[in-house]
Amino acid sequence: MSLIEEVDGKKINMAHLCIVGSHAVNGVARIHSEIIKATVFKDFYESDPEKFQNKTNGITPRRWLVMCNPGLAEVIAERIGEEYIRDLDQLKTLLEFVDDDTFIRDVAKVKQENKLKFSAYLEEHYKVKINPNSMFDVQVKRIHEYKRQLLNCLHIITLYNRIKKDPKKSWTPRTIMIGGKAAPGYHTAKMIIKLITSIGDIVNNDPVVGDLLKVIYLENYRVTLAEKVIPASDLSEQISTAGTEASGTGNMKFMLNGALTIGTMDGANVEMAEEAGEENLFIFGMRVADVEAMDKIGYDAASYYNRLPELKQAMDQISGGFFSPGQPDLFRDLVNMLMQHDRFKVFADYEAYIKTQDRVSTLFKDPKAWTKMVIHNIAGCGKFSSDRTISQYAREIWGMEPSLEKIAAPDDPR
Ligand SMILES: *Cc1c(COP(=O)(O)O)cnc(C)c1O
């Protein structure tokens, strides 16, 4: 609990200093608040339990629905009025319309319009043509090992190999888009980007695959691009190793904009599943307790590689230069990491992830069932308004009532 780190010379432990100096400490999703009490800051929690709180993150519905997706905001307002924009819990009344064919059709139509608009944007600015009838499968977030863009890559390669084996089967066409920035000094993150674009170069130019699978790297991911791609997404990838994502807010933006989530029981995904019904998300893989149990016995990547033929094939292609012809050892460091010292246990969730992606593909062929699941998700979004988060900070940390009164800025004579 010392404020001074003593190894390799003295340093201030900034996290410990923060806890001691603050009258309240909170995690940003329920699971995160529990983890900091049970492990990371256990001793501080035991000496000062009343200091520890939870404030689950939220997103503002003005930017992340009304501004970025006016079509969906309007279709909702036609059914339940406009008050929900300042009181997002009112979205639950949409459950009354979940079997209403006109509402289902309206929600699906807005999504299709957003997909056409985003396709036109990509074509105009980046000269890439995508099939607007394919599933838009999107993972946009900072590039980091814990977020497991590499697990997504293994799914893409698996789909590619399956299509090549049996191109005539009735595949669900997918456009898989991945975007995000790598920190300048984070070499592994930059190699992950290189792998994604290299897979794209092979997959996108294979005439056997055609329109069934496309891989797009979204450059320069930032809020203005998020506002365009999220309303056009069908599937949101939230696939971090359980216990590593504090909350996530991208997950909430997709949910509010009518995308379904494939995700692990991590961060705010846990509460999203609780609010929308777990049957309305595609939840897969290890829970936090499973990850902890595995840490005790030790994670053995090779056992998965040897047992799962499609995983072995994908890894052999990456390490054999299939995606980097002319530079066969380009991805040697990534392969070594995945096989020898993967802190985020990508292979341990591979099998469950692929099986769950198969369920996603099956459901996408039934647009009505898909859209009904979307409506359950939108109806469950109320908790994830930042209005709720900010009110909780005001009342539970600062002991004040939130107010709608406008306060003039110091230099504003209003
Ligand atoms: C919301 C947002 C994020 C956070 O996304 P996560 O998936 O929660 O990591 C990152 N970057 C931009 C531009 C965003 O809009």
Q: 350 has which bridge partners?
A: none
**Confidence category of residue 26, pLDDT binned at 50, 70, 90:** very high
Ligand 1 atom at minimum distance from 222 CA: 13
404 pLDDT more than 90: no
Task: Count CA atoms within 13 Å of residue 200 on its CB side.
Answer: 19
What integer is the mean pLDDT of 340-352?
98
CB 179 within 8 A of CB 236: no
Residue intervals in the chain for CATH 3.40.50.2000: 61-387
Quick: pLDDT tens for 69-84. Answer: 999 999 999 999 999 9
What is the predicted pLDDT for the residue at 414? 56
What is the predicted pLDDT for the residue at 81? 98
Ligand 1 atom at minimum distance from 253 CA: 1
**Computed from CA positions of residues 112, 172, 241, 147, in that sequence, does the dihedral angle turn out positive or negative?**
negative
Q: From CA 270, how far away is CA 247, in angstroms rounded?
A: 9
How remote is the CA of residue 372 from the centroid of ligand 1, in Å?
A: 26
Mutate to test the pocket of ligand 1, among 142, 218, 222, 235 (most ligand atoms within 8 A of CB): 142
How remote is the CA of residue 226 from the centroid of ligand 1, in Å?
A: 8
Quick: pLDDT tens for 35-50. Answer: 999 999 999 999 999 9
**Confidence category of residue 364, pLDDT binned at 50, 70, 90:** very high
Cβ atoms within 10 Å of 336's Cβ, excluding its own: 12
Token pair for 342: 């993967």
What is the predicted pLDDT for the residue at 66? 98
405 pLDDT more than 90: no
Query: Smallest Cα–Cα separation from 239: which of 221, 251, 252?
Result: 251
Mean pLDDT, the chain, rounded, equals 97
Q: From CA 377, how far away is CA 386, in angstroms rounded?
A: 17
Quick: pLDDT tens for 247-295. Answer: 999 999 999 999 999 999 999 999 999 999 999 999 999 999 999 999 9
Mutate to test the pocket of ligand 1, among 28, 65, 138, 140 (most ligand atoms within 8 A of CB): 140
Ligand 1 atom at minimum distance from 147 CA: 9
CB 376 within 8 A of CB 280: yes
pTM across the whole model: 0.97
How remote is the CA of residue 72 from the centroid of ligand 1, in Å?
A: 21
Q: From CA 233, how far away is CA 224, in angstroms rounded?
A: 15
How remote is the CA of residue 231 from the centroid of ligand 1, in Å?
A: 14
The DSSP H or E segment spanning 25 is strand 25-27
CB 13 within 8 A of CB 19: no
Residue nearest to atom 4 of ligand 1 (CA): 250
Ligand 1 atom at minimum distance from 223 CA: 13
Quick: pLDDT tens for 99-158. Answer: 999 999 999 999 999 999 999 999 998 788 999 999 999 999 999 999 999 999 999 999
Best CATH choice for the domain 61-387 from the list 3.30.465.10, 3.40.50.2000, 3.90.580.10, 3.10.20.30: 3.40.50.2000
Residue nearest to atom 9 of ligand 1 (CA): 141
How remote is the CA of residue 246 from the centroid of ligand 1, in Å?
A: 13
- Residue by residue, what is the 3-state secondary structure of 134-169? CEEEEEECCCCHHHCHHHHHHHHHHHHHHHHHCCCC
Residue nearest to atom 7 of ligand 1 (CA): 250
- Burial class (CB within 10 angstroms; exposed 0-12, middle 13-18, buried 19+) of 11: exposed
What is the identity of the amino acid at 204?
Answer: N
CB-based contacts of 400, cutoff 8 Å, min separation 6: 394
Q: From CA 254, how far away is CA 354, in angstroms rounded?
A: 21
Burial code of 350-360, b = ≥16 C-beta within 10 A, e = fewer? Answer: bbebbebbeeb
What is the predicted pLDDT for the residue at 412? 72
Ligand 1 atom at minimum distance from 227 CA: 15
How remote is the CA of residue 96 from the centroid of ligand 1, in Å?
A: 31
Token pair for 118: 């985003």
**Confidence category of residue 313, pLDDT binned at 50, 70, 90:** very high
Query: Taking CB atoms and a 6 Å cutoff, what residues make up the pocket around ligand 1?
Result: 141, 221-223, 226, 248-250, 253
Biggest distance spanned by C-alpha atoms of the chain: 71
- The helix/strand/coil state of 181 is coil
How remote is the CA of residue 8 from the centroid of ligand 1, in Å?
A: 35
What is the predicted pLDDT for the residue at 402? 86
Ligand 1 atom at minimum distance from 249 CA: 8
How remote is the CA of residue 141 from the centroid of ligand 1, in Å?
A: 5
More confident residue, 411 or 400: 400
Q: From CA 173, how far away is CA 364, in angstroms rounded?
A: 10
Quick: pLDDT tens for 162-218. Answer: 999 999 999 999 999 999 999 999 999 999 999 999 999 999 999 999 999 999 999
Q: How many residues does the chain have?
A: 414
- The helix/strand/coil state of 41 is coil
How remote is the CA of residue 219 from the centroid of ligand 1, in Å?
A: 14
Residue nearest to atom 15 of ligand 1 (CA): 223
Between CA 242 and CA 249, with CA 247 as vertex, the angle to 5 degrees is: 125
What is the predicted pLDDT for the residue at 403? 83
> How far, CA to CA in Å, does 94 sit from each of 66, 270, 379?
17, 22, 6
**Computed from CA positions of residues 17, 21, 25, 27, in that sequence, does the dihedral angle turn out positive or negative?**
negative
Burial code of 103-116, b = ≥16 C-beta within 10 A, e = fewer? Answer: bbebbbebbeebbe
Mutate to test the pocket of ligand 1, among 28, 64, 141, 145 (most ligand atoms within 8 A of CB): 141
What is the predicted pLDDT for the residue at 128? 86
- CA of residue 123 relative to chain centroid, distance: 25
**Confidence category of residue 413, pLDDT binned at 50, 70, 90:** low
